[in-house]
Structure 1
Amino acid sequence: MSHTSVNEADTPTPHQDLHSEQGALRGEHPGRSRNPVIKVADLAWLEFEKPDLARAETFARDFGFAVAARTEQALWLRGTFAGPPCMVIRRGRASRFVGPVFRAADRTDLDRLAAATGSTVRDSDVPGGGRSVSLLDPAGLPVRVVHCGEPLAALPEQTPLVLNFGTEHRRTNSTQRPPREPSRIQRLGHVVLETRSFVRTLDWYLDTLGMIVSDFLFLDGQRERGPTMAFIRCDQGSAAVDHHTLALHLGPGTGYVHSAYQVTDLDSIAAGGEYLAERGYRRSWGIGRHIQGSQLFDYWRDPDRFMLEHFADGDLFSCDLEPGWAPMSASGLAQWGPPVTRDFLGASPSPAKLREVMTALRGDNELDPARLLGLMKAMSS
């Protein structure tokens, strides 16, 4: 795919002073495809396999999911918003991430996608029924696109607290007592994936699924080699959507990094975090506020060490906002909050991590010693 900059160097762009201090330079990746096959509307759900569905359900309820359906072989989890489930966990021999499932805007998009990729439209086992197309991204990760039948009905919400601001007193003669209970998940927000073939994988999601980039990150001193991370949103035209539905970054690993689930507000994040801590779960990083996407965040590990995020108050962008460009750094991950942890960065040394790095450096991909050194420097800066 040939990339030509949408903006001239040093020319003011619409996104400046909004979400990034700088935009693209001449010839850099434009962050969108000129003629995508389809434009997905959103993430539908994520698919996992785990051997112990009872343990998975216990954590899911503690984290704030509701159960949409349960069989001996599968656990479907949902949020309070109407629509598709957030996650399916199928019984398997080992705990693993299977892949993401995106929601098609229209049933005819599945036919168009199947024709363009040589795939087949098949029935989906989602509660309420539906049809789907199964694909593989360039990194070999299974990706499905689904059009759901009957959506799940909405569930009762966690009521946001009424706040007083300065001289604006909306709460008088009453106290604040947020209940110590699980954060009530509203919906699936995004998934972050690691890949050794960053540009090819990025272009596939833009060309095939019609997604567009909100922000690029690049390695200090290596900008001319292109970005190493992209925060990618769905394109729903003038309708503002999440700053990122998918994030990709270059690295020695492949597949799942973390997934994020929207909750009501900061008190929901904090009280829900206390609830998780009291039950012995381990926080990976938080509470804080991100830079790219601006979300309030709190990251936790489930019993199988998968990372999941509670978030609230994220940025919403329409299609006319161009990508921002910023250097990648650990200190650039948050506006405020505790220092980023080695656990969150995946920087804890282990024999498995070393094998992963050695395999990546020997493979036919975009990770070479200079890139690896730049990533290590970024994650310690």
Structure 2
Amino acid sequence: MDVPAAAARTDVHHGLHSELGALRGEHPGRARNPVIKAVALGWLEFVKPDLDRAERFARDFGFAVHERTPDRLTLRGTFSALPCLVIRRGRDARFAGPTFVAESVADVRRLARWAGANTLPCGGGQAVQLTDPSGMPVRVVAGLDRPPALAERDPLELNPGTKPVRINTPQRAPRAAAQVQRLGHLVLETTKFRRALAWYLEALGLIVSDFLYLDDLRDRGPTMAFMRCDLGSVPADHHTLAMHLGPRTGYVHSAYQVTDLDAVAAGGEHLAEQGYRRVWGIGRHIQGSQIFDYWRDPDRMMVEHYADGDLFDSSLEPGWAPMSAGGLAQWGPPVSRDFLGSTPGPGMVTALLKALGDKTNEIDKDTLTALAKAMAV
């Protein structure tokens, strides 16, 4: 799509976090009057058949065990925050949905009235169980107590060339499992991107930090959104939820903050020594700027260590960029097919045929062709 010269001249993002902003009439990236404004991503729930194996990987990845029963494993980071993961025993490994945190119980009740749902007791607070337009279960909670922080090492001091701060002291990064500090974000794929996007902006008050679009189909709107919590003047993670259009619906990966680059690198060495498989890394992203390292757990769920992510307040408008495999990182190794989910196989063929046959979604031959072109490696 050709960009009119006048539209290019009015770009408000030049020199800021994105080279491009929206064209006239494109998606604003936020709802005019959201039902509530979620303040955090609380935890993620999974079902896994082997909790002992799940716990071994969790410890190697850097989680601390918060609670363990024969049928339930709860994992946390070092920060004083809600536990990151709840894993329940079940026959087949699967993602069971995210839980977001509302500012107050009154917000949970307001959201329940909007959705025509009932509130439920949750610990010492209240929760409401919803379903997004993709069919993903989404819980929203408020009024829960946070456990106290755990001890962890301080970030290592670095010596920049012009202003060294570490004198007569060698640098020795611990060669051990990384210490997860907190849950950072969740990434989902959906065949109903526009409807799901509108739902998260309206129901939870999320706001878009960056949109990606298909170069040949920009007139159809964005195909990926990096959404953050709207905390007003308080800076929030560049994205709490990222979501993209694709032929499948469900979990893509989740990301967990560690203290610094050395924790990412040394934590990755520890995972490799334990026999786990790296998906992609180490590198630095463009949207969000995180230093990243991606791994598969024993059930092939993708998880990420990251450090040094961007923080935005509510004043920043969405950036716009073309979706491409080469546009995912500032530096690092070439992106892998495993990360992109484009490894050929019967499952991929089945998903493509199912998506094309469903007339209620946003997938057609033109979209699949543009997605394949954008994600070519």
**Cα displacement string for residues 187-227 of structure 1 (whole angstroms, at most 9, x for unaligned residues):** 00000000000000000000100000011101011100111
- Alignment match, 1:374: 370
CA–CA separation in structure 1 for the residues paired with 2:147 and 2:28: 37
Q: Give the counterpart of 2:199 among 191, 204, 211.
A: 204
- Alignment match, 1:272: 267
- Alignment match, 1:348: 343
Say if 1:240 and 1:113 are closer, same or farther in 2 by CA, change over 3 A: same
Contact 1:213–1:231, Cα closer than 8 Å, also in 2: yes
Say if 1:14 and 1:318 are closer, same or farther in 2 by CA, change over 3 A: farther
- Alignment match, 2:216: 221
- Alignment match, 1:4: none
**Cα displacement string for residues 108-166 of structure 1 (whole angstroms, at most 9, x for unaligned residues):** 101101111111111225xxx43210000000000000114221110012221111111
AA paired with 1:369? K
**1:52 Cα deviation (Å)?**
0.5
Mapping 1:227-306, distance limit 5 Å: 227-306=222-301
**1:15 Cα deviation (Å)?**
3.6
**1:304 Cα deviation (Å)?**
0.3
CA–CA separation in structure 1 for the residues paired with 2:36 and 2:9: 31
**1:93 Cα deviation (Å)?**
1.0
CA–CA separation in structure 2 for the residues paired with 1:234 and 1:47: 20
AA paired with 2:61? F
- Alignment match, 2:132: 137
**Cα displacement string for residues 285-334 of structure 1 (whole angstroms, at most 9, x for unaligned residues):** 00000000000000000000000000010110111100011100000000
CA–CA separation in structure 1 for the residues paired with 2:210 and 2:300: 28
Contact 1:84–1:148, Cα closer than 8 Å, also in 2: no
Contact 1:47–1:99, Cα closer than 8 Å, also in 2: yes
SS at match of 1:221: helix
CA–CA separation in structure 2 for the residues paired with 1:348 and 1:75: 31
Q: Does 1:123 align with 2:121?
A: yes
Mapping 1:3-22, distance limit 5 Å: 9-10=7-8, 12=10, 14-22=12-20
SS at match of 2:37: coil
Q: Give the counterpart of 1:36 among 26, 34, 37.
A: 34
**1:11 Cα deviation (Å)?**
5.4
CA–CA separation in structure 2 for the residues paired with 1:273 and 1:165: 24
Say if 1:239 and 1:12 are closer, same or farther in 2 by CA, change over 3 A: farther
**1:14 Cα deviation (Å)?**
4.8
Task: Point out where structure 2 has 5 or more consecutive residues left out of the alignment.
Answer: 1-5
Give the TM-score of the pair, scaled to structure 1.
Answer: 0.95
CA–CA separation in structure 2 for the residues paired with 1:274 and 1:40: 36
Contact 2:235–2:311, Cα closer than 8 Å, also in 1: yes
SS at match of 2:216: coil
Runs (4+) of structure 1 exceeding 6 A deviation are none
**1:168 Cα deviation (Å)?**
1.6
CA–CA separation in structure 2 for the residues paired with 1:87 and 1:268: 20
What's the % identity of the aligned pairs?
64
Point out the more displaced range, 168-177 or 220-229: 168-177
**1:13 Cα deviation (Å)?**
5.3
**Cα displacement string for residues 11-33 of structure 1 (whole angstroms, at most 9, x for unaligned residues):** 54554311111111111111000
Task: Point out where structure 1 has 5 or more consecutive residues left out of the alignment.
Answer: 1-7
SS at match of 2:86: strand
AA paired with 1:23? G
AA paired with 1:44? G
CA–CA separation in structure 1 for the residues paired with 2:221 and 2:29: 12
Give the length in aligned residue pairs.
371
